[in-house]
Amino acid sequence: MSPRTSDKFQEIREVTKQKIMDTALELFANEGYYPTSISDIAKRAGISKGLMYNYFESKEELLKEIIFTGISNLAEEFDPNRDGILTHEELIHFIRQSFKLVKEHTTYWKLYFMVMYQPPVISLFEKELQDLLGYYLKMIDQYFAKQKVKKPMAESRFFSSIMDGIFMNYVMSPETFPIDEIEERIVKMYQ
């Protein structure tokens, strides 16, 4: 049996870390953050509890990484050319990609909304989250100001609230929510 290369070892670490995150995501979203223990996650992931701590120092760190990874995936679709200016085409792209991501990663978004509405949980990383989301809200504010909307900040918050409300309703009942039709209506609103 030949020794593992450092590349192979790193690949195994990444696969194990992703398995832990996927398992925790599923448990946190379906069982709740507080009722789910590190032992529950380790058992479901098929690893030892001790090994969990080689990847994450705590359950809080694990949750934080899950939440910020999902937000990063969405952020990749916002201002794709990274110039700090949101164009009309980029806004429409962002709307379409947001709907796509919510449909593809419903469990993540279920967890996201659950966390947002639990003050003790969100307080674990609220400042970092506000800083990150504030950056994007500012860009949306600037977009609507450039579009000569009378109250750009109000329009920006309206836009964000509509998107959040749609996605929250969808993740709570994906089988009965007409998300494709609603996507078209939102795109039409902002065309």
CATH number for domain 1-56, candidates 1.10.1060.10, 3.30.70.120, 3.40.605.10, 1.10.10.60? 1.10.10.60
Give the residue among 99, 123, 24, 12 at the shortest CA–CA distance from 65. Answer: 24
Residue 8: the pLDDT is 85
State how far Cα 19 lies from the chain centre.
Answer: 17
As a whole number, mean pLDDT of residues 135-140 equals 92
- The percent of residues above 90 in pLDDT, for the chain, comes to 78
pLDDT band at 133 (very low <50, low <70, confident <90, very high): confident
As a whole number, mean pLDDT of residues 141-170 equals 96
Residue 76: the pLDDT is 86
Element (H, E) at 12: helix 6-31
Residue 156: the pLDDT is 96
Give the domain ranges of the chain: 1-56, 63-189
Query: What architecture is domain 63-189?
Result: Orthogonal Bundle (1.10)
State how far Cα 65 lies from the chain centre.
Answer: 10
Residue of higher predicted confidence among 12 and 3: 12
For residue 76, the 8-state DSSP code is T
Residue 2: the pLDDT is 53
In the predicted structure, residue 1 carries a pLDDT above the cut 80: no
pLDDT band at 3 (very low <50, low <70, confident <90, very high): low
Residues 65, 135, 60: CA angle, nearest 5 degrees: 20
Residue 160 CA neighbour count, 13 Å, CB half:
15
**Quick one: angle between helices 59-75 and 106-116, nearest 10?**
120
